[in-house]
Structure 1
């Protein structure tokens, strides 16, 4: 009986741990979850950190309602899950912002990943009935690549955030890699 209770307690702890690291809406990692994974990965080797922001997301919520905005977030998470390589991950950083941890430093590979994500996002969002067919959901991304000198998560996030704002200032719907 003790062994059964011990096993049940372990299972409950794992369940609560998973819940604590998961975004309930998109079933992807939440901010805490993605930050832990990014920190662990960067402790072992350089990687690339990207901050992705859905373009004009507030307009989607305002024009079509928060239910439609939620569907866009869900579709983005699905598109990202089906686009990323097995060693890459992402999580909801806050609102419509996402943090990506890419296990590459190659800018062409990073660019290809986000181009594929843009295509998949467009395809996934075309299935949202509440969105008119002339509405295309896009995103802007800022990417910072780690190296032997600069591999702290905080520094990479700050650099990726700067690149994201450049992408937005330059008209959105683009990826800027540092």
Structure 2
């Protein structure tokens, strides 16, 4: 019995420890905008830097962007690249701005295994900034996708009348 317990513990800790730097994706040259960590820190607020560059998550229900319903475009807070239109926004009840479809060419996808299972990470297609994740539990009458995004990673530009 001790051997089985021992083997289980070794297997468990081996799996958990495989979440090291080898799986961490580098910011590759595939993004048009390349900046050093210091340049991003200088340009962004502390919260924007934490989310966009360090791939953090803001607190749910903390973003003013949750309330926006006016026509316009949501852009990357780091590089101003257009990401989503208000008409694709919906209330998901999760506490983060949610959309069912990005603007063509607005986002880039990457695999995220930080929680021990695969999620689809959503990045800005121009600078590679972390925006959030996309899930398959969105409105079935449209795309069925839910782009769950950090509001601090975006700015809103209203449509001019």
TM more than 0.5: no
Give TM-score scaled by structure 1 length: 0.29
Give TM-score scaled by structure 2 length: 0.31
